[in-house]
Every structure is written in C-alpha cells, then in structure tokens.
Amino acid sequence: MDMTNDLSNQKYTYLEDKVKINFTMIGILVFTFSFVILKSFIPFQISYLLLLTSIVILLFSTLVFSKRGLVITRVDIMWFFFLMFFIINIAFNNIIRVGTVYAVFVYLLGICFLLLVKVDINYYKYPLKIISLMGFFYAISSIFQYSFTSIYTSNILPLFNPDEQNEILTLMRRGGYTGFTNQTAHLAGYVLSAIGVFIFSNWKVKFSTKLYYFLCLIILFIALLLTAKRAHLIFMVVALLITALFSLNNKKMVKGISKLTITIFSVIFLVILLYNSINFQEDSAIVGFVNELEESLVGLVEGEDISSGRSVLFARSWELFKENPIMGIGWNEFFNNSLGLINTDRGSHPHNIYLQLLAEFGLFGFLFFMLPVLYMYYKTFQMLRSFSMENESLQKWKSGIQFSFFSQSFFLLYGLTGNGLTDYNFLLWYFFACSISLSAMVLVKSSKKKQVKKTDSGNSF
C-alpha cells in the first residue's frame, strides 16, 4: 500500500463491528491534554500518566492496529543520539535520582511521540482545538483571579501544594496573576500558544466566526498582560511577525505583514482601552506591566541590566562550562551550583537553555540537542517558504506549518531567558509542534514520489 494512503488514512479498529475507534487520534489527543494540564493544580503525576498512556496507545496503533511499522527520519535518529548522550551524561556524572529519572522519562516520551506520529494534518484539528480552548480557559482563570481575588484565595489557592501557594501569593504581590496554573510563565505559555492557534487559523470564514476569533484574542491578550511577563509578550510578537513574513510571497509580503501588525496592535490597544474603562488605577496590574515595559525599553537604550538579575546566572553558567567543556557538570546540576546567586535559600535554573546545555551537557551535549532543533526549524522554514510559490501539495498544511514554525520560533527565542528544558509543558508543546512539520515532510515527500511514478508510468506508454 502506498505510504501516503497508509499514513493519511489511518486504519480504524472496530469493536463488535459497531464502534469505530481511531487509536492514533486518541493517542494524539491524550498527549496534548497531558501537557496542557501539566502546570495546573492537577497533580503532575496525572499528567505523566496521561503522557505515558498516549505513547502506549500510539505504539499499539502503529505496530498492532494499523500494522504499518515505523517511519524513521533523520530527525528521529538525531533525537535518538541526544537521548543516548543524555543517559550517558547522567551516568557519567553519577546523578541518578528521582528528578533525573523524570527528566529522561519526559524526553523519551516526547521523542517517541515524534517517532510514532506521522499523520495527515486532519489529525491535528482537535488537538489544536484543545490547545486553544485550554489557553482560553486559563486566560479566563487569570481574569477571575484578578477580579475576584478573595474568592480565588479561599477556594482555588488551596488546590495547590504549599510551595506553589507561596509562589502564587508572591507573584500576586508583584502584580502577576497565575490563574489555574502555578506560575505566571506557565499561564503565559498556554495563553500565547492559544493565540498562535487563533492567529494562524483559517480566517476565510463567515463574519460571526471572525468576530468570535477576535473577541477570543482580546481576552487572551488581557490575560497575557495580567501575567506581567515581558519576554513572553515580546517573543510572541516577534515569532508571529517572522512566521507571517516567511509565509508570504514577495508581492503579498508588505501587505500581509502590515495587516498582521495592525491586527496585533489593534487588539492590544482595545485590550488596554477596555481594561482601563473598567479599572483605571495607577496600581492596576496592566498599567504596572505597561510601565515596566516602558522602563525596560528605556533601560535597554541606556545600557542598563534589564534581565531581572539573570546576568549573574548567565555568567555562572559560562564559568561552569569553561570548567567542564566536554561533558558538562550534569543534568540539572546548575541548580545545585547557584545557591545564593539570586535566592539565599535555594538555587535557580540558568534561565537560558543554550547556556544550560553548555554548562550541564558540555559542548557535545549542546551539539546533540541543537542539531535536531535547528534541522527541524530549517525544514519547517523551507515548507513555509514553499507556500509563497503556490505549492499545491502543501496548501492544506499551511495553518499547521505556520503554527509549528511560530511555536518553534517562540521556543528558540524563549530559550534566551526561560527554562524550556526543564519546564516540560513548553518542551512537550515544542515536540507537538515539530510533529506537524515532520508529518508534512514525510507525507509530502511520499506524495511527490507517487506523482513521479505516475509520470514515469505514463511516459512509458
């Protein structure tokens, strides 16, 4: 059977000849749900159990139900080598403990997801809806937290563990709202992933649907401002703009970028206008965040440190890399080597995945991780540019590839200031986005081979 038909039309399993079940679809849905609840008040063990369940379902769907075997690509091989290095590094540095086992578990299942999921774009319809709906749900939760703080504190806050409760209260005092997540950075991640889904949806729809999209974006932007996360907002806007830029041909580029820019700033303006019409206070969260952005821009121009003290962490990471340039100090060991740099009672992550890779994995580990990341990003870029040449074989993938490129762009940018290697909700979102591009690469390549065969067959007559 042709690979395109085999992959894009997954076989269904019939139970008692009555119920039609698509196990591949179920596996992708469960995987998506596992990372969209990971940083909520739901215990993380449930998320990990769902993650494991999703891979088991996908494995059975691939090897038992559809009986099509594995499709192994260069990306899969590169990630396999990274995983092997990851395990060797842990053993080499003798850091076998619960945290490292969890880390290997998450990376292994994320890589397995890439290996097992090479499907038609239609399989991503409902997973993307889950991302948008959960992002909207979290957005509403942050607005609820801000509007009804006492109710939130009495009824929602106790659902988190004591450490998370203290962190949430600290962030609230600083003007950041976490909603139903345990950290403003995580809520911002869920919200902006939903923004990406909405922005790169098909807008050639009826007016009522467009209005719905627009209203959802306004609410999502309000929630993003309530998190008071500068980097998330800036990196999201940059990722949106470069995705739109590379999606357009030369004739449509200026017009398209102008429309996207106007839309983004119109939404932001309406958000601020709407918010201020309800609560125009100098000490309000959004006003404070806007002032903080302004101060950051001024500080950047004047050469001040606007990294919230992270420059100390960056310098320490570089020192540790120079001391251990080949194999690094070991996974997550920076945390144990940073006590007192920012917090007197605990360590911190580097807040930069590139420096973290160098410090903890050394030069070899850095290369093993970055090679599949950059290769996947380049391949997604190539597919994105092909849209500008009216490539018919890729047109149905356009929205999915745009979301994938946006997600990968944000992951790379966020890596400059965030903890994308240890915040597994961001990491699993990244693997999910990459699976869209990888699926497109496999299916489109197979489709082209089929067309070539048909052409050769026709010419032979």
Domain locations in the chain as residue ranges: 85-98+321-452, 126-306
16 to 12, 25, 65, 301: CA distances (angstroms): 13, 20, 15, 69
pLDDT for position 348: 79
Closest alpha carbon to 266 in 224, 225, 218: 218
**Distance (Å, whole) CA 94 – CA 80:** 21
**Distance (Å, whole) CA 333 – CA 323:** 14
Q: Give the CA angle between residues 158, 163, 168 to the nearest 5°.
A: 65
302 to 282, 313, 314, 402, 416: CA distances (angstroms): 25, 22, 21, 36, 21
The region that residue 163 occupies, defined by phi over 0 for left and psi between -120 and 50 for alpha, beta otherwise, is: alpha
Q: Is the dihedral of CA 386, 392, 398, 404 positive or negative?
A: negative
pLDDT for position 357: 94
* Residue entry with tokens 């403003």: 184
pLDDT for position 300: 40
Question: Which stretches in the chain have pLDDT values below 70?
Answer: 1-20, 66-68, 249-309, 339-346, 387-394, 445-461
Roughly what angle, to the nearest 10 degrees, separates helices 424-460 and 353-386?
30
pLDDT for position 77: 96
Question: Running DSSP on this structure, what letter comes out for residue 421?
Answer: T
- pTM attached to this predicted model: 0.84
pLDDT for position 345: 65
pLDDT for position 56: 95
Q: Decide: helix, strand or coil at residue 20.
A: strand
pLDDT for position 443: 81
pLDDT for position 407: 97
pLDDT for position 305: 44
